[in-house]
Amino acid sequence: MLIQRVITALVLLPGVLALVWFAPTQVLYAVFAGAGLLIAWEWAALMRWTEPARRWSYVAIVGAMLLAVGVVSQVPQSLSLLNVLTGLAVLWWLVVPTIFPGFPGNLQRNPPSALALGMLGVVLIASTVSALAQLHAMHNGPLRLLFVLFLVFAADTGAFLAGRSLGRHKLAPGISPGKTVEGAIGGVVLCALWALTAGVYVFEVVGAQVLVLVGLSIVVALASIVGDLTESMFKRMVGIKDSGTLLPGHGGILDRVDSILAAAPVMLCGLYLTGL
Residues in the chain: 276
Predicted confidence (pLDDT) per residue in 144-183, tens digit: 999 999 999 999 989 889 888 887 889 988 898 889 999 9
- pLDDT tens per residue across span 39-62: 999 999 888 888 889 999 999 999
> Quick check: 1 pLDDT over 70?
no
Of 222, 225, 208, 223, nearest to 276 by C-alpha is 208
Consecutive H or E run containing 264: helix 253-274
**Residue 2: what pLDDT?**
45
Confidence of residue 256 (pLDDT cuts 50, 70, 90): confident
Interval 197-235: pLDDT, tens: 999 999 999 999 999 999 999 999 999 999 999 999 999
Per-residue pLDDT reduced to its tens digit, 98-123: 999 988 888 888 888 889 999 999 99
Q: Smallest Cα–Cα separation from 66: which of 26, 20, 34?
A: 34
Pairwise CA distance, residues 15 & 10, whole Å: 9
Confidence of residue 252 (pLDDT cuts 50, 70, 90): confident
C-alpha–C-alpha distance, residues 125 and 123, integer Å: 6
Say how far apart CA 109 and CA 256 lie, in whole Å.
Answer: 29
CA dihedral of 211, 224, 179, 107, whole degrees rounded to 10: 130
Reply yes or no on whether the pLDDT at 266 is more than 50: yes
Q: What is the pLDDT of residue 245?
A: 65
- CA 80 and chain centroid, separation: 22
Range of the domain at 109: 2-274
Q: Quick one: pLDDT at residue 248?
A: 58
pLDDT at 107: 85
Domain count, the chain: 1
Task: Tell me: pLDDT of 70 over 60.
Answer: yes
Whether the per-residue pLDDT at 81 is higher than 90: the answer is: no
Instruction: Specify the pLDDT at position 36.
Output: 96
* % of the chain surpassing 70 pLDDT: 94
Rounded Cα–Cα distance for residues 71 and 81 (Å): 11
Lowest-confidence region among 62-66, 77-81, 173-177, 266-270: 77-81
